[in-house]
Structure 1
Amino acid sequence: MMKNRIMLSRFIILLTFLFMFLLNTGVMAGEQKCGPIIKNKAPREDVEEQINKLTPILIAPDYTYLPANEQEVIHYLVKASRIIDNIFLEQVSKNNRRMLRALKEYIGTPDQVYYDYFKIMYGPWDRLNNNAPFINLDEQKPPGVNYYPPDLTQEEFESWINAHPHDEEDFTSPFTVIKRRWYHLKAVPYTREYRTKLRRAARLLRKAARLTSDPTLAAYLKSRATAFFTNDYRQSDIDWIGLDGDIELVFGPYETYEDELLGFKAAFESFVCLVDRDESEKLQIIETFRE
């Protein structure tokens, strides 16, 4: 018994020394290991020129005509949309959140243009200029962004599927990311990859569903919240088609344009819209041509 205690004490002491060694050498100190996130930048005037090509538009519709409960629904949907916004930021690059924190230091200085343009472009690559980097100029945008390992090629992906045909469904799913584990590739569902954010968004959707008087919107919000746990979006897509109220919502992973490597993976997006009943009524003239 005494011998076992001595061995355990020695083991704990050894682990303590190992931990201190790793910490001091920077292996466990993320900042030392990673280094500065912003290494260099394009000339400020070049970024200013790109920003000046754009015209800011304030989107502030008047929804005060809606009942109080529906106004609160919109409040929850906008909060949930900000979470979806952050998921897309992560989908573009694993470094985006860290880089955004660093760029916030520029707010209120002449270099704020880098922060502003980063927010517009959802990353350090200029979407108006063939994704040319304007921050960290030697780091090109990976064609598969953060959906895949940065070194993954189409040939390796297809070779893996050929060797592991049982993986094809998960690997080609729009709702998974591909991870490299040592020498193996693995599909991770969105529900796991973005678990914390999706659960927060789901809670907000369910709160909105309890508040709304529109049964079609409530059905969609509840089924979409469930999809964030199951990774199965079919029922919520069906419920979305049935929306028939004053609030229209697009919320979840849809378009695959960001995946320029294979075109499989869906990007998260959100639009909270109000139906313009007067203008919609004018479109009813189209119905006369169907007869």
Structure 2
Amino acid sequence: MNPIEEILNQFKEVPLEADLESLPEDVRSALPYIRQAMDLVTRIFLRQQHEHLPEHYDSVMKGEDEWRKRFYELFKGPWNQLTDFKSEYPDVNNRSAGCAFYPEDWANAKIKKTVEAMSGPEKEAAMDTYTVLRDNKGKLEAIPYHVYYAEELGEVFDLLEKAADMVEHEGLSSYLINRAEALVSGNYRESDAEWVRLTDSPVDLVIGPYEVYADALLGVKATYESMLMVVDREKGNALKEIESNLENLAAVFPVQSGAKAAVGGVAPIVVVDQIYSGGEAAQGVMAAAFNLPNDAWVRGNVGWKQVMLHNVMKAKFTVGTKEIAKKVMHGGENVDFDPMFTFVLLHEISHGLGPAYRADGRETAKCIGSSYVAIEETKADTGALYLILKLGGQYGINRYDSEVLLKTYLAGLFRSMRFGVHEAHGKANVIQFNWLKEKGVITRDGDRFAINAENIQNVAEELLVKVCTIEAAATPEEAEDFLREYGTPGEDILNAIGKLSDIPTDIKPVFPEF
């Protein structure tokens, strides 16, 4: 078996089912236009990884190397997401820490030093989530996304406009056209707020620049992605009690050092089945849920939406989590999908809780540099665990047997760490494992781990306080020190991951035809 085949075999092909027949005919007719728009978003994402990747990608797809074509299709390029985006091909370098957000011929240290020396509007533009930086006669020039990617976005606009014209659902049609306008104007806030409030649509769509995971240089630049989903209203209605008790959940999170939370007016929970993806959302490891938008103003003044990808989540649990649990811990057969679903739901909710602004008014996301994403993912995971432990049986949160909960949680940590212990989510899971091990919750027992649940609520609370304190007041150096102390995987983690090679790392979705 060649090395590329071994990598691809870590992803098990799984058909993702969704009830397309229940959709109104007008919505079904609009779906192909939305899908075409999403494919264009993928093209923009390729450019964001490397300016010339779209042409290189096309060349590979026209070639005869079938394994290389399959690799590029899965990972959206030559870089292996499971090994911190190292290239699997000798004719291509590893992915740059700053991708194509920054000048390719500038050293990373020079870029950081130049941006740090800026002030006022110049620095604000350079650090803006939605600009690329380019060399203009020896100086850094910030170019807005909607200008830099204007050609592709113009085509996206036309396709979304066609879809909007076909859709009879007033709210969905309005969102489609307003989101199209946002993409070509760079004014995302109004359509972000409209998307949060859109909860009665038969389908849900996110499309645009959102997450900053790919920017390992300054940690502020967003990549384009898109997800198209069929809404399961019945499953969503079962979670209304949690949705209506957001303030009680928020009260659990520490907000220290004069920092402020950003709890907005609404936080709807939507359960969906995913039917297509584009951009970063179509690269390698699939998300099982998400919480958007990331704009702190929208979150604080309007709210945010938690979206649970039920068909994706169930497939991941069946293919990965259940099998991992049996190999990494004693009694690992005692895991269950329901506590995992609740944990993932509360993880997404936890992204919206805790410190959002520092005492001086700055967004916490921009105060600790490239460490932020790993710290934030640790906060969301730990917050979810703590909410279940502290509030289980209240506010619509189910109460679970602590042993079943912790075993399901630990299996989930290892499932995520397999995606790469140096990637933000993987590093966050390493932090949690090392913290729980240090506190005696996780112990080694022979060739597997054992769980001691006796003091888990206090241990989870201590970690939640720690990461919220970092977001509220730490310097970038202090955040980096914490990551070095707890985010480094030990031999116990690496050995356990090494024994999971016969279990698929993740799923490769087969989306329904439409």
Is TM-score (shorter-chain normalized) higher than 0.5? yes
- Structure 2 equivalent of residue 221 of structure 1: 176
- Structure 2 equivalent of residue 143 of structure 1: 97
Q: 1:82 aligns with which of 12, 16, 39?
A: 39
1:19-38 aligned within 5 A: none
- Structure 2 equivalent of residue 248 of structure 1: 204
1:177-256 aligned within 5 A: 177-244=132-199, 245-256=201-212
Aligned equivalents of 1:228, 1:152: Cα separation in 2: 31
Q: Percent identity between the aligned chains? A: 27
**Which letter does structure 2 place at the counterpart of 1:198?**
L
1:34-73 aligned within 5 A: 45-59=2-16, 61-73=18-30
Aligned equivalents of 1:281, 1:72: Cα separation in 2: 27
- 1:102-132 Cα shifts (integer Å, max 9, x gaps): 212434xxx3111111121111111112222
CA shift for structure 1 position 80 = 0.9
Moved more, 111-120 or 259-268: 111-120
CA shift for structure 1 position 163 = 4.4
- Structure 2 equivalent of residue 100 of structure 1: 57
Aligned equivalents of 2:29, 2:74: Cα separation in 1: 28
Residues 98 and 215, structure 2, Cα contact 8 Å, conserved in 1: yes
- Structure 1 equivalent of residue 507 of structure 2: none
- Structure 2 equivalent of residue 32 of structure 1: none
Asked if 1:114 is matched to 2:68, the reply is: yes
Gaps of at least 5 residues in structure 2 are 246-393, 397-514
- 1:191-246 Cα shifts (integer Å, max 9, x gaps): 11111110111111122222222222222212211112211111011111011211
Moved more, 98-107 or 46-55: 98-107
Aligned equivalents of 1:250, 1:85: Cα separation in 2: 13
Aligned equivalents of 1:178, 1:284: Cα separation in 2: 43
Distance change >3 Å, CA 116–CA 138, structure 1 → 2: closer
Aligned equivalents of 1:138, 1:115: Cα separation in 2: 15
Distance change >3 Å, CA 196–CA 60, structure 1 → 2: farther
Aligned equivalents of 1:218, 1:138: Cα separation in 2: 43
Asked if 1:124 is matched to 2:81, the reply is: no
Compare CA radii of gyration and give the structure with the larger one.
1
CA shift for structure 1 position 86 = 1.0
Distance change >3 Å, CA 95–CA 226, structure 1 → 2: same
Distance change >3 Å, CA 145–CA 271, structure 1 → 2: same
Residues 87 and 194, structure 1, Cα contact 8 Å, conserved in 2: yes
**Which letter does structure 2 place at the counterpart of 1:52?**
N
CA shift for structure 1 position 85 = 1.1
Asked if 1:282 is matched to 2:238, the reply is: yes
CA shift for structure 1 position 247 = 0.9
Distance change >3 Å, CA 59–CA 80, structure 1 → 2: farther
**Which letter does structure 2 place at the counterpart of 1:75?**
P
Q: How well do the aligned residues superpose, as a CA RMSD in angstroms?
A: 2.2
Gaps of at least 5 residues in structure 1 are 1-43
CA shift for structure 1 position 65 = 2.1
**Which letter does structure 2 place at the counterpart of 1:202?**
F
CA shift for structure 1 position 164 = 5.3
Q: TM-score, normalised by structure 2?
A: 0.45
CA shift for structure 1 position 270 = 0.3
Q: TM-score, normalised by structure 1?
A: 0.77
Aligned equivalents of 1:125, 1:185: Cα separation in 2: 27
**Which letter does structure 1 place at the counterpart of 2:176?**
L
Moved more, 174-183 or 129-138: 129-138
**Which letter does structure 2 place at the counterpart of 1:254?**
Y
How many residues align structurally?
245
- Structure 1 equivalent of residue 249 of structure 2: none
